[in-house]
């Protein structure tokens, strides 16, 4: 899906799209990974990208989408990348169903914008585009969570209709704010 995106007050139009990882995105993906690693991010999803040739990564994500070769306790999930002018700005994971961990902590949707592209509206945009995908998958409500104190994510979720259900304590960090969004 391609959208025209107008930056804040600048009226500067640019085209962005949410795309699956394809063989032709290899250079863009390498650049994105380098940026994410340089940020010192140690997210669980990043570990999934380690030590795998690019073609294997592309195949792995396509398998996860259809529910093949999933790590144990994982559910089918689409991983899509926000692309602008051939560069990857961020990514979103859409889990097609919930397991116990996702229902309590992770939710249906998790998104990430690379640090040098934050505060430009892309976080809000990636959730908006992800909701279109969610509709295609056939869900009519989604759980989206964020850490207490993650003001940017909290604003994004609430702006997109998130209704807070509760704050879920976690073992090793701040509580999770659990929101439902009706589609
Ligand atoms: C959270 C995250 C996705 C926000 O992305 P972003 O592209 O900067 O978000 P946006 O530019 O769309 O900002 C949305 C709103 O949040 C505000 N905001 C964003 N980051 C903020 C921050 N660190 N502190 C305070 N406000 C912030 C913006 O000003 C904007 O407010 P507005 O709607 O009043 O204008 C990004 O910081 C990120 O990837 N963080 C690491 C991963 C993460 O936390 N993912 C979310 C897991 S639930």
- What CATH code is carried by the domain that includes residue 42? 3.40.630.30
Higher pLDDT, 73 or 96: 96
| Residue 57: domain span | 2-137
Locate the ligand 1 atom nearest the alpha carbon of residue 118 and give its number: 8
The pTM of the whole model exceeds 0.85: yes
**Structural domains counted in the chain:** 1
Domain membership flag for residue 172 = no
- Asked whether the predicted pLDDT for residue 72 surpasses 70, the reply is yes
Spatial separation of the C-alpha atoms in residues 125 and 92, rounded to whole Å: 11
The residue to mutate among 118, 149, 159, having the most atoms of ligand 1 within 8 angstroms of its beta carbon, is 118
What are the backbone dihedrals phi and psi of residue 141, each rounded to the nearest 5 degrees, phi first? -150, 145
Domain membership flag for residue 112 = yes
Domain membership flag for residue 6 = yes
Angle between helix 122-137 and 151-159 (nearest 10): 50
Q: Provide residues with CB under 6 Å of ligand 1.
A: 110-113, 118-124, 146, 150-153, 155-156, 159
């Amino acid at each position: 899906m391609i959208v025209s995106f107008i930056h804040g007050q600048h009226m500067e139009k640019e085209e962005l799209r949410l795309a699956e990882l394809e063989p032709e995105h290899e250079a863009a993906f390498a650049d994105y990974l380098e940026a994410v690693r340089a940020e010192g991010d140690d997210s669980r999803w990043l570990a999934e990208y380690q030590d795998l040739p690019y073609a294997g990564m592309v195949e792995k994500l396509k398998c996860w989408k259809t529910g093949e070769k999933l790590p144990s306790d994982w559910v089918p999930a689409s991983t899509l990348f926000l692309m602008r002018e051939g560069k990857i700005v961020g990514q979103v994971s859409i889990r097609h169903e919930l397991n116990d961990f996702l229902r309590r902590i992770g939710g249906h949707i998790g998104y990430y914008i690379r640090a040098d592209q934050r505060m430009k509206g892309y976080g809000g945009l990636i959730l908006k585009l992800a909701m279109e995908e969610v509709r295609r998958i056939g869900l009519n409500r989604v759980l989206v969570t964020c850490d207490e104190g993650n003001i940017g994510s909290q604003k994004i979720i609430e702006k997109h209709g998130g209704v807070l259900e509760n704050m879920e304590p976690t073992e090793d960090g701040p509580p999770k704010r659990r929101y439902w969004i009706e589609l």
